[in-house]
Structure formats: C-alpha cells, structure tokens
Amino acid sequence: MKENVLKRLESELLLYRRYLVSGAFTAEQIVEEAYGIALRQFIAEAMERLAEENRLSEELWSWLDEKENVLDYLYELWMDCDTSLIPELAEVICNEVSHDREVHRNE
C-alpha cells in the first residue's frame, strides 16, 4: 500500500503541475496558486519521509490508498487544520541567521 500511495502522490503532483501550465490559467492565476503548489510539494515530501521512517501503519496507508485523489485529500486536511508551521520555521530561521553570523563574524 505504501508504495502505491507514494506513486499516486507523485503522479497526482505531476498532473496538478501540468494542469496549471496547460494554458488554461493566466500567469496571475498561477501566482495565486503558489501556496497550493508549494504545499502540495511539501505534502508529497512529508509523506515520503513518513514512509522512510515507517511512521504510518499499513491500515493508514490502506486508508490513504482508498482516496480518489490522495494529494487533494491531504491538502484539504491541512487546510482545515489549525496547525501552523510558523513556529518551527521561525526557529530554523533564527538558528540559521545566528549560525551564519558566527561563521562570517570575522570577515
């Protein structure tokens, strides 16, 4: 199930990208979709990581495999939840800026 879900996610992401560049959208409309484009890519990458770490049970992989469009399903779950990545992103940025300053302090 896991491999099938991952293949479907890859395929669905490719189809989504092709749909966006099909000529049916203006450049402005594609820019408006930027968050959705990035988030769908992050979702696919996160699912690959979950697979590598064996963090989902076969029951959950099977549940995902039953969805008509796994990527849209996961995207909608994310959009409907109250979780934010901002605290983690802020921490990473803080650490990276601090590290870069230390590395380049004496230049």
| pLDDT tens column, 14-61 | 999 898 888 888 889 888 888 899 999 999 999 999 999 999 999 999
Q: Quick one: pLDDT at residue 5?
A: 97
Residue 107 reports pLDDT greater than 80: no
pLDDT digits (tens, 9 = 90+) for 76-106: 999 999 999 899 999 999 999 999 999 998 7
CA dist 26 and 19 (Å) reads 12
CA dist 25 to 12, 18, 19, 38, 72, Å? 18, 11, 9, 17, 19
Provide the residue type at 18 as one letter: R
Distance (Å, whole) CA 57 – CA 71:
18
pTM, entire model: 0.83
Tokens 């959705």 -> residue: 36
Which pLDDT score, from 0 to 100, does residue 21 have?
A: 86
pLDDT of residue 105: 85
Distance (Å) of CA 34 to CA 24, 46, 47, 68, 82: 16, 18, 20, 23, 20
